[in-house]
Structure 1
């Protein structure tokens, strides 16, 4: 059972019920998921290096909402983060918008998502600058998520932070002492003020909002598992095919791991509602959901190299770019791409 087969089966019923409410980005995602590796995106020509056998395969859609695509992009992002890892404790900071704001965020997705990430980043920068121990510039990686494990709408930002800051005035590396970074309640209060102010400045009136917001800050070891968790949902949609359990023609059942008990649970919804759950998490075209800041930013490579030298980091070898290959059906030797056709190749 795959996401693509579900979209193909329920597409017409879904459009009858919800087509009028779809955005251009959601239409694009729907068409991409349905047509991925089915021909609409052209074909790739392959030639065996050993026996010269030729064949064609349909191209993938490349859409980040499709769970069949961009595995290499995910691995490349993770490798880039590994290149910048430091031998310090890492922390995961999560800023969550209250449910009362979700309607406004849905209406102004592009603006609100950007403000969410900007305000979360600015809050961390301010805390680091004012901290008596750090007193400098943090480096961190922020990733926007819009879903819960049940696939409900829940915009929030996860930020992975190495436990140290660069004090440029003193030209000094300041390491976090102990196991503690920042107080979650204080972060939430500052973030609330920054985000609401940014909304008003953007001309968006949020209506009534709760005074108590949620921000979490916890230690996550050396950061490897936290980065892998963030990489999981960067490009390949919000659910893998292995977690789609069944489709009886009316209802779709999928599984998810409960965040509190860590036990597997299942959820059953109609096929049309399942597509709604998927498409509500499509990001606006061109929106960058993963952003690096401070000394982890791409423009701070010189600072990062100095930090790694000071901290005696054994840098891993630069990642090598993988070349697309396909096993030959005749001799099992690797086949290489020899041509790309924008439309389905004509026989002969």
Structure 2
């Protein structure tokens, strides 16, 4: 079911040029407001079965756009099916304390890069205590349910690894995570603060306050197997700060969204925000240009996948699923049988007037 309201509807009511946004943030927000509109051009398609003609407007393809992530998510998940091993997988979440929120706003590239580096350094160190080289798929999320700044890293970690003899060791613990979450939290905190000091972004008082806080590391129950991992990853990859389905109403001055209040038994509640405040909160989660928010480490890294991972899968007699063929044509939304064939591409000025006059055009966006 299509949502009645979209993020673009709210942003379209804000004078973005008069807000305190960076150039990159303003450019991103404008892209979202123009997504799948005539402003970005599009194409005219004809069904090869019923002959129906329809217009499709181009997507902005911005990674922060809630309308542009579905296709990318499916492609990424299909690629991950080639990488999984027959073992238990664990879901861990490493969260930064709110003391660092100010630095996350002023120096997001550094703060988030250190989050990735420290998390892998911590997990890698604990793996070595068991004589294993492990791996990790990590996904950065920066938001809380109410669009507040809440940087945390979702990590998928295999329940095994490569020993010193190059052999696979799995099923170390099937009931709970391999390492103490409390111990992980303490090492994670120490490593992060040490790297932060090197960046010279904090003073001794801030560093001391960081050590006085309990840094949250959360380990969820292990997955039943690789199939469950793939299904779970589908919820987290290519997510944006808020989906269009969570926007319940948009008035002249306010937007109403729903959110889960985890401090109150995960109850679903409603929150009203001024349009400008919604845009401000959304802008907090626009990542720096070229910043990679999904990363792979250890035996799940790109270096491993180029040879060693495939050799390991062959040794374990794992049958890798065939890559799904890319869909060449979309199905007609009118007859649901024919394929759509592009017969015309148009630019930002919109489709030619003769098509508008001579054909019954059906917008599909």
TM-score (norm 1): 0.88
Aligned runs of 1:1-348 on 2, under 5 Å? Answer: 1-8=5-12, 10-12=13-15, 15-16=17-18, 19=19, 21-50=20-49, 55-131=54-130, 135-167=131-163, 169-178=164-173, 179=175, 180-205=177-202, 207-208=205-206, 209-211=209-211, 212-221=214-223, 222=225, 224=227, 227-259=230-262, 261-301=265-305, 302-327=307-332, 329=334, 333-338=338-343, 340-344=345-349, 345-348=351-354
Change (3 A) 1:339 1:110: farther
CA–CA separation in structure 2 for the residues paired with 1:7 and 1:343: 20
CA contact (8 A) 1:151 1:277 kept: yes
- Per-residue CA deviations over 1:34-57 (Å, capped at 9, x if unaligned) read 101112222123233346665542
- Per-residue CA deviations over 1:61-95 (Å, capped at 9, x if unaligned) read 00111111131101111122222222211111211
Q: By how many angstroms is 1:101 displaced? A: 1.1
CA contact (8 A) 1:94 1:159 kept: yes
Change (3 A) 1:229 1:338: farther
CA contact (8 A) 2:185 2:217 kept: yes
Q: By how many angstroms is 1:224 displaced? A: 4.9
RMSD: 2.4
CA–CA separation in structure 2 for the residues paired with 1:279 and 1:299: 34
Change (3 A) 1:312 1:263: farther
TM-score (norm 2): 0.84
CA–CA separation in structure 2 for the residues paired with 1:324 and 1:192: 50
Which 4+ runs in 1 deviate beyond 6 A? none
Change (3 A) 1:154 1:176: same
CA–CA separation in structure 2 for the residues paired with 1:331 and 1:187: 53
1:336 alignment partner, SS class:
strand
Structure 2 runs not aligned, ≥5 long: 355-365
Structure 1 runs not aligned, ≥5 long: none
CA–CA separation in structure 2 for the residues paired with 1:73 and 1:288: 14
- Per-residue CA deviations over 1:264-311 (Å, capped at 9, x if unaligned) read 222222222122222211111111100111221233233222333343
1:170 alignment partner, SS class:
coil
2:61 alignment partner, SS class:
coil
CA–CA separation in structure 1 for the residues paired with 2:268 and 2:228: 20
Change (3 A) 1:160 1:233: closer
Alignment size in residue pairs: 339
- Per-residue CA deviations over 1:100-155 (Å, capped at 9, x if unaligned) read 11111211011211111111111111111122xxx121121001110112221011
CA–CA separation in structure 1 for the residues paired with 2:8 and 2:49: 34
CA–CA separation in structure 2 for the residues paired with 1:113 and 1:161: 19
CA contact (8 A) 2:332 2:338 kept: yes
Q: By how many angstroms is 1:176 displaced? A: 4.2
CA–CA separation in structure 2 for the residues paired with 1:224 and 1:24: 42
1:219 alignment partner, SS class:
coil
